[in-house]
């Protein structure tokens, strides 16, 4: 499958409540994303604030393998800012649903089409590469969305992005939508999925499977409200289940995620898929016994791929094998009789927290 990722941690991610990155933090994130290997990095929307504009100007100077995209409304003034910042790629967005036309712009569909055409034309005349996004595409009447996509293509857009701005798509609806749009235009299609129903990752994967070429993601899925699709999830699924050739460094995912949790102040859930502390922690006696024999028993993929730790808890759920495994790791000699006794003692201990090595040794 020929696909790629656009990371929007610096733009969409910074729209998370109470999150703001310093320029130094943004530079660190850009370098880490570039080392990971994402194909595009959205570096911010200059019109939002003067400090965002300053950081975009600094980041624009960085040498990266990834293409950097500057975000912009369909307004001459926004596009001019991007030109002044030496943008190569601009991401122009315009809300196309009836709700957007009525409440955001107060205009009719014909006026919307002419604004889109003007903005894309203007950016093209200034030699920018353009990704045009139909904001709220998922709630836009399909016939109008197709008109929008075709006008954007005609006016010179290089890419067309479908935004599920309020996260209402399902995987089957995403697939149908992407198929209709890819049939109607020749330029590559992108997908931007919000996670309001917890389906951003599934929808992004379905979009790529149905003909979209780039999926928008952010580290830890940060973004407005419940955020967007998570980089770790989309990248892992593509690597495990699809024949992707991209050279993404999966082993850096945990570090990226931990660092972002720290600087954003938004921690991962402990049981977050892939990057959560418990993603490879085994507890029930039956599970731990099987995992000690073969980790595959209760792991869908090996944690080693992403430098994640495997943990086997010792508590009242524990069986003899897990205790023996832990004692062996600690280089402790024991008889079968001792092992039985420790296991029984641990199982009758009602503490709900799992035991540390020291606490286990105290049972000897």
Using CB under 6 A, list all residues that contact ligand HCA: 12, 15, 91, 93, 133, 135, 161, 163, 165, 192, 194, 224
Contact between 248 and 7 (Cβ < 8 Å): no
Complex with Cu ion: residue 12 or 78, whichever CB lies closer:
12
The nearest distance, CB 96 to Cu ion, in angstroms, is 14
State which of positions 74-103 bind Cu ion (CB under 5 A): none
Complex with ligand HCA: residue 41 or 314, whichever CB lies closer:
41
Residue 93: name the closest of 134, 63, 39 by CA.
134
The CB-nearest residue to Cu ion is 12
* Binding-site partner at residue 161 among ligand HCA, Cu ion, none, CB < 5 to 8 Å by type: ligand HCA
* Binding-site partner at residue 210 among Cu ion, ligand HCA, none, CB < 5 to 8 Å by type: none
State which of positions 6-45 bind Cu ion (CB under 5 A): 12
Residue 75: CB partners within 8 Å, gap ≥ 6? Answer: 47, 119
Contact between 192 and 161 (Cβ < 8 Å): yes
Complex with ligand HCA: residue 101 or 163, whichever CB lies closer:
163
Complex with ligand HCA: residue 91 or 276, whichever CB lies closer:
91
Query: Which position has the token pair 């770790």?
Result: 232
Residue 319: CB partners within 8 Å, gap ≥ 6? Answer: 285, 286, 288, 289, 343
**Residues 45, 71, 190, 287: which is the catalytic one?**
287
* Binding-site partner at residue 133 among ligand HCA, Cu ion, none, CB < 5 to 8 Å by type: ligand HCA
* Binding-site partner at residue 343 among ligand HCA, Cu ion, none, CB < 5 to 8 Å by type: none
Say how many residues touch Cu ion, by CB under 5 A.
1
Which tokens belong to 143?
Answer: 């016939």
For residue 130, what is the enclosing H or E element? strand 129-135
Which 3-state string (H, E, C) describes 72-106? Answer: EECCHHHHHHHHHCCCCEEEEEEECCHHHHHHHHC
Q: Is 192 a catalytic residue?
A: no
Complex with ligand HCA: residue 194 or 326, whichever CB lies closer:
194
The nearest distance, CB 310 to Cu ion, in angstroms, is 35
* Binding-site partner at residue 91 among Cu ion, ligand HCA, none, CB < 5 to 8 Å by type: ligand HCA
The nearest distance, CB 165 to Cu ion, in angstroms, is 6
Helices (H), the chain: 23-36, 50-60, 76-84, 98-99, 109-125, 142-155, 171-184, 200-209, 231-241, 253-264, 285-293, 320-329, 336-348, 357-361
Which residues make up the interface to Cu ion (CB under 5 A)?
Answer: 12
- Residues identified as active-site: 287
């Amino acid at each position: 499958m020929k696909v790629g990722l656009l990371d929007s941690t610096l733009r969409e991610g910074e729209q998370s409540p109470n999150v703001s990155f310093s320029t130094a933090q943004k530079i660190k994130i850009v370098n880490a994303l570039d080392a990971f290997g994402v194909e595009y990095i959205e570096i911010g929307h200059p019109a939002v604030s003067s400090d965002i504009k300053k950081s975009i100007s600094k980041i624009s100077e960085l040498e990266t393998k990834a293409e950097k995209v500057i975000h912009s409304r369909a307004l001459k003034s926004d596009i001019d800012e991007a030109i002044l910042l030496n943008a190569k790629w601009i991401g122009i967005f315009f809300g196309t649903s009836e709700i957007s036309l009525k409440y955001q712009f107060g205009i009719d569909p014909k006026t919307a089409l002419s604004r889109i055409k003007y903005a894309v034309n203007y950016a093209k005349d200034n030699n920018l590469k353009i990704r045009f996004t139909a904001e709220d595409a998922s709630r836009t009447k399909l016939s109008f969305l197709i008109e929008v996509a075709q006008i954007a293509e005609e006016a010179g857009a290089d890419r067309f992005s479908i935004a599920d701005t309020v996260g209402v798509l399902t995987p089957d609806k995403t697939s149908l939508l992407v198929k209709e749009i890819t049939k109607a235009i020749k330029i590559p299609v992108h997908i931007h999925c919000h996670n309001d129903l917890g389906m951003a990752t599934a929808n992004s994967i379905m979009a790529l499977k149905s003909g979209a070429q780039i999926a928008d993601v952010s580290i830890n899925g940060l973004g407005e409200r419940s955020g967007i699709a998570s980089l770790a999830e989309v990248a892992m699924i593509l690597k495990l289940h699809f024949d992707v050739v991209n050279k993404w460094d999966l082993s850096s995912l945990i570090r990226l995620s931990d660092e972002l949790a720290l600087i954003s102040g938004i921690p991962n859930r402990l049981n977050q898929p892939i990057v959560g502390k418990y993603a490879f922690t085994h507890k029930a006696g039956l599970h731990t016994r099987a995992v000690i024999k073969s980790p595959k028993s209760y792991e869908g993929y090996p944690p080693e791929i992403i430098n994640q730790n495997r943990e086997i808890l010792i508590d009242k759920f524990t069986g003899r094998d897990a205790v023996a495994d832990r004692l062996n790791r600690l280089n402790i000699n024991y008889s079968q009789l001792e092992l039985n006794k420790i296991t029984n003692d641990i199982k009758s201990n009602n503490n709900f927290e799992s035991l540390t090595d020291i606490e286990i040794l105290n049972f000897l």
